[in-house]
């Protein structure tokens, strides 16, 4: 089940947690002080690349009756949408480039090319998710209100359809994200002001209308006789972006080792224990420079959760220091291949669609969610901890 005492779970003393926190504070200061021209050049070049791909893709689709042109145009447009969503939109809205004081890449001005209004994303993601990361009952990203990803979520017959629900979420991911900040659970319970709900729905409706009008009316019309082929190309590019962003995000949050936490643990945590929760509640996947860029550098999800407002192009170098810190204190640095992390996630989703009586692992030592009570799991995970302290 979820972790109730993070220090006990991690086998750390109060002094250890404070020392880890001081080292992470120092990392933040070092990076903030070293931001400069190369970081600014990085984000500006990323924007140029994204816009070049979008323009090239749109241009190629004017000849989309010719199959190679349709394939090339769709591929370029899909890549442009992925880059805009992952490396630009997500990271700019986090405020990673606010230090440049450039209105083009400031979090207050960026509206991304997806169905979710950036204002609502800032609340549901930047505030709720990053403050309450993996706290069951506080972080709505734990299952997104429709998926069971830990046994801390009570089983209901609706979860039998979870493999299908998950596939539909992946396919229409931008719309799932758009509805996220509505907090449908609170609406059902009558705890949300209807005026707030209506205001959000109108904002979502306007944004969805603009997106549909742009991708499925305006650009197809501009291509004249290629209307239908351009429309299918736009739909395919949006599907590419949806599937990719869904998979990257799920690989960072639901593989084995991305732990969950109780509300009581959160309410008692110190600022430095917040760092520890981010480290234990996130997972990375291995990626080269190109794949890292295409994932918005969220292959470094641990680093992102520790420092969500620092430039994403610096996560790779930060990961070396974070990994060394984990080794120093015998903490897990959860990572694996992209395929491995996603296969673990799928296994969890399929398995937890069933009632608990059909599951074999004990709740405290389940691979998808362990706790400080699962002693054998922790002993296997950190076999050198007690010996290192004794030495």
Q: What is the pLDDT along the chain (391 residues), one digit of tens a residue?
A: 788 899 988 999 999 999 999 999 999 999 999 999 999 999 999 999 999 999 999 999 999 889 999 999 999 999 999 999 999 999 999 999 999 999 999 999 999 999 999 999 999 999 999 999 999 999 999 999 899 999 999 999 999 999 999 999 999 999 999 999 998 888 888 888 999 999 999 999 999 999 999 999 999 999 999 999 999 999 999 999 999 999 999 999 999 999 999 999 999 999 999 999 999 999 999 999 999 999 999 999 999 999 999 999 999 999 999 999 999 999 999 999 999 999 999 999 999 999 999 988 777 778 887 777 764 334 434 433 332 332 2
CA 135 to chain centre: 15
Q: Which residues contact 41 (CB under 8 A, 6 or more apart)?
A: none
Task: Indicate the angle between helix axes 14-34 and 315-328, nearest 10 degrees.
Answer: 160
Q: Residue 116 and residue 48: Cα distance in Å, rounded? A: 23
Please indicate, yes or no, whether the overall pTM of this predicted structure exceeds 0.85: yes
| Spatial CA neighbour of 77 closest among 238, 291, 297 | 238
CB–CB of 318/307 below 8 Å?
A: yes
CB–CB of 241/174 below 8 Å?
A: yes
**Which residue's structure tokens are 């799920």?**
250
Give the pair of three-digit tokens for residue 220.
């197809």
């Amino acid at each position: 089940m979820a972790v109730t005492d993070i220090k006990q779970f991690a086998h750390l003393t109060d002094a250890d947690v404070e020392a880890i926190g001081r080292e992470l504070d120092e990392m933040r200061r070092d990076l903030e002080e070293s931001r400069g021209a190369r970081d600014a050049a990085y984000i500006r070049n990323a924007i140029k690349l994204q816009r070049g791909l979008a323009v090239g893709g749109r241009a190629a689709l004017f000849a989309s009756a010719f199959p190679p042109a349709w394939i090339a145009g769709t591929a370029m447009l899909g890549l442009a949408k992925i880059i805009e969503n992952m490396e630009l939109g997500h990271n700019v809205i986090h405020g990673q480039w606010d230090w440049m004081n450039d209105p083009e890449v400031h979090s207050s001005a960026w509206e991304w090319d997806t169905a979710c209004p950036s204002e609502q994303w800032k609340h549901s993601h930047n505030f709720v998710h990053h403050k309450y990361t993996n706290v069951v009952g506080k972080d709505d990203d734990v299952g997104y209100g429709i998926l069971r990803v830990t046994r801390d979520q009570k089983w209901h017959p609706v979860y039998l359809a979870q493999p299908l629900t998950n596939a539909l979420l992946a396919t229409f991911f931008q719309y799932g994200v758009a509805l996220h900040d509505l907090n449908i659970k609170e609406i059902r319970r009558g705890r949300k002001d209807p005026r707030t709900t209506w205001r959000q729905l109108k904002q979502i409706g306007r944004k969805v209308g603009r997106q549909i009008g742009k991708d499925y009316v305006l650009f197809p019309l501009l291509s004249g006789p290629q209307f239908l082929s351009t429309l299918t190309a736009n739909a395919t590019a949006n599907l590419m972006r949806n599937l990719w962003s869904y998979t990257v995000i799920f690989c960072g949050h639901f593989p084995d080792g991305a732990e969950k936490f109780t509300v009581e643990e959160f309410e008692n945590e110190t600022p430095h224990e917040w760092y520890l929760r981010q480290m234990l509640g996130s997972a990375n996947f291995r990626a080269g420079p190109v794949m890292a860029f295409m994932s918005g550098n969220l292959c470094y999800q641990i680093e992102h959760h520790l420092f969500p407002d620092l430039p994403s192009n610096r996560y790779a170098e930060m990961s070396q220091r974070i990994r060394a810190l984990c080794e120093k204190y015998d903490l897990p640095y959860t990572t694996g291949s992209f395929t491995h992390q996603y296969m673990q996630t799928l296994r969890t989703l399929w398995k937890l669609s069933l009632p608990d009586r059909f599951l074999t692992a004990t709740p405290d030592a389940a691979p998808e969610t362990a706790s400080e009570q699962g002693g054998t799991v922790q002993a296997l995970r950190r076999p050198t901890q007690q010996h290192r302290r004794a030495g």
